[in-house]
Structure 1
Amino acid sequence: MTVTVNNDVLTSLQDDGPNEVSERLLASAARLSRNAMTEIDWSLPMDPDKYGCSPEWSSLYGTDYWNEMSEEQRISLTRHEFASIMCIGIWFEMILQEMVVRDQYLGQYHSPEFQFALTEIADECRHSIMFAKASEKMVGRSYRPGRTVGRLGKFFKATAKNEVAYAGILVAEEVLDVFQRGCMRDDRVLPFIRTVNEIHVLEESRHMKFAREEVRESVQGIGRFRRQFSALYVALGAYMIVTNLIQPQAYADAGLDADRAVAEAGANAHFHSMIRSSCAHLMEFLDEVGLLTKPAMRYYRAAHML
């Protein structure tokens, strides 16, 4: 099943502020929300010849290691890589939910902003279940960040607020959005994974619009010190997310030498280029709102986002 993402409502939105935008996003959610639990037949067998993501989005595509692999190994690799990306997505969506709930804890409950924030949380819960089911079906396991990164994530979700929280949310959503758009109409990819991508792209487009409005509102009138601090904190969060998308264990589970795979992925100019392309719009936005400072840019470059 191929679905064309309808962005008419989203592209027509003006930057009217969180409440005005949220009212339109609530209407969009009411019409266009989808449910993977009823839409996908999780019992269907997987085609052994289908990839987990487009080969060009593999972290090893174009490397010597990739050229040595059989087609079966390449398919297994992309399935484990995308399972890792989905699981790291779950990890950050749990962080996201806590930050949004905290931000709206004593909000104006009658307002569209509050109501869309809860709609987003409901979406993220469904997305996390969808990713968990997809990972279970595709590779039979899940991946988590290492202990240190897990602790840093706890610290980030406990301390990030205002523009830091919503810009951090935007980072994770923008990176995954471009990746999934590149894979969701590729016939080489497993059909149920293409549907997972379609659902996530459609619903995250609303979340990204909401996050951008929250960031714009938060940075209005802030001082230089806060702007510099927020820009650096967002960049540190972005570095933590992007550099942990594919866990080394995913390479091992795909039958590869994990140390060699990590080394070749780390030097893969093609994959770095794909990451930069996925972050182009994000970098433009951060620059627009004054959150792309020189110290922050160092971390974006280190993660190949800039």
Structure 2
Amino acid sequence: MTDALLAESPRLKGILDRLSSMSIEDYYNPYKMFEWPDTLPQRMWWMSPELTTTYGTEVAEELTEDQLYALSKYESVNFYSLNVHGIRELLIEVTHRIHTDDFAQASEFFHHFIGEENEHMWFFAEFCQRYGGKIYKQLRGGAETVPPGDAASLLVFARILVFEELVDHFNLRMGADERLHETIRGINRIHHQDESRHIAFGRELVKVLFESFAARATQDELTQVSDYLKRYLTYSFETLYNPQVYKDAGIAKPLEIRRRLLEGPRRREFEAQVFRKTLPYLTKLGLVQDGVAA
């Protein structure tokens, strides 16, 4: 990709200008915005129950009410831990590209993006450490190296888009769920506000990058990119199913529970809900071929 390519995309330039202005107008100080109670009630929903990995499954029917509340607590902490890890990765990748020739016109917006994401990482980590006592480690499988060459930046920003759209699916639901504590609703609402800008930018940037890549790629290279993203979609979704979460919630045989849930009938329905906007978009672009996860 070259700076000239960005210059040839009036739509992307317009989006960059508009979103940069919105970032300035909507700026808030996260260190002053949130009230952090000393504790949160244990017998409450920490995550919308419909978003928990056991919802609508036989496993849920085997659990007590206290276990379901505990599960929602630790799945909530796992979800915010995934945000911490995902944000750290995208910050590294975007920082590598800011003020380079390829991304010169996007660099002003990148400054806003980096600042906002750094603040997101702080308040998600703060929640995890205050109320969960830890940040869950990433599950193995997500460290697959992005192939070098023409597809590298395309895949980096496609991964960022997948991550942000997965997260926003949860943010949008939990930010409006009155069953949740206001602290939980608040961090989800404010994250959705910022992520809606990042997703708008990410979709257009990925489109521009893919059009440039596809114009000179072979069918084999297009297939490799598609297969890579299918694997990443699957990995991203399966990080929601953390066996340490089940153990912390007092559920016996956590690895077996994870296997049952991933192999169970609800998994495909849940995955389709999470990626209901993402997968059709990537498929329409041609980035993911046939829209079926690998």
Fold match, TM over 0.5?
yes
Corresponding residue for residue 266 of structure 2: 270
CA distance in 1, matches of 2:292, 2:154: 17
Aligned letter for 1:262?
R
Residues 197, 231 of structure 1: alpha-carbon distance in 2 compared, 3 angstrom cutoff? same
Identity, % of aligned positions:
22
Residue 232 (structure 1) aligned with residue 227 (structure 2) = yes
* Deviation digits for residues 278-304 of structure 1 (CA, Å, limit 9, x no counterpart): 21211221122111214x7242xxxxx
Aligned partner of 2:278 among 262, 275, 282 = 282
Alignment partner of 1:164 out of 155, 159, 166: 155
> Aligned in 2, Cα 1:109/1:161: closer, same or farther, shift over 3 Å?
closer
| Residue type at the aligned position of 2:136 | Y
1:191 aligns with 2:182: yes
Deviations 1:74-112 (A, max 9, x none): 11101101211211221121111121122224248874x
**CA-to-aligned-CA distance 1:128-184 (integer Å, 9 cap, x gap):** 1111111122221111124x436x25x349887322111111111111111221222
Taking the aligned partners of 1:251 and 1:129, their CA distance within structure 2 comes to 25
Pick one of 167, 185, 188 that aligns with 1:176.
Answer: 167
Matched, 1:259 2:255: yes
Cα distance, 1:208 vs. partner? 0.8
1:253-292: CA deviation from partner (whole Å, max 9, x where unpaired):
1111213421332134335323212212112211221112
2:141 to 149, 165, 174: 149
> CA–CA distance in 1 between the matches of 2:119 and 2:50?
28
Counterpart in the other structure of 2:238: 243
Distance in 1, Cα, partners of 2:185 & 2:147: 30
Normalised by the length of structure 2, the TM-score is 0.86
Deviation of 1:252 after TM superposition, in Å, equals: 0.5
Q: Is the 8 A contact 2:128 2:134 kept in 1?
A: yes
Aligned Cα root-mean-square deviation (Å): 2.4
Aligned to 2:188, the other structure's residue is in SS state helix
Matched, 1:217 2:213: no
Letter in 1 for 2:100: L
- Closer/same/farther in 2, CA of residues 157 and 102 from structure 1, 3 Å limit: farther
Corresponding letter in the other structure for 2:141: V
For residue 26 of structure 1, what is the aligned residue in structure 2?
20
Cα 1:122–1:246, aligned 2, differ >3 Å: closer, same or farther? Answer: farther
Task: Mark the CA change 1:228 to 1:109 in structure 2 (over 3 Å): closer, same or farther.
Answer: closer
> Are 2:94 and 2:110, in contact at CA under 8 Å, matched by a contact in 1?
yes
Instruction: Classify the secondary structure of the residue corresponding to 2:54.
Output: coil
Query: Following TM superposition, by how much is the alpha carbon of 1:34 offset from its aligned partner in structure 2, in angstroms?
Result: 3.4
Aligned length: 280
Displacement, 1:191?
1.6
Tell me, in whole angstroms, the C-alpha distance in 2 between the residues paired with 1:158 and 1:81: 35
Q: Is the 8 A contact 1:175 1:275 kept in 2?
A: no
- Alignment correspondent of 1:6: none
CA distance in 2 between partners of 1:35 and 1:178 (Å): 24
Instruction: Give the conservation status (yes or no) of the 8 Å contact 2:45–2:179.
Output: yes
Partner of 2:42: 48
Q: What is the CA–CA distance in structure 2 between the aligned matches of 1:264 and 1:189, rounded to whole Å? A: 28
Please list every run of 5 or more consecutive structure 1 residues that lacks an aligned counterpart in the other structure: 1-14, 300-306
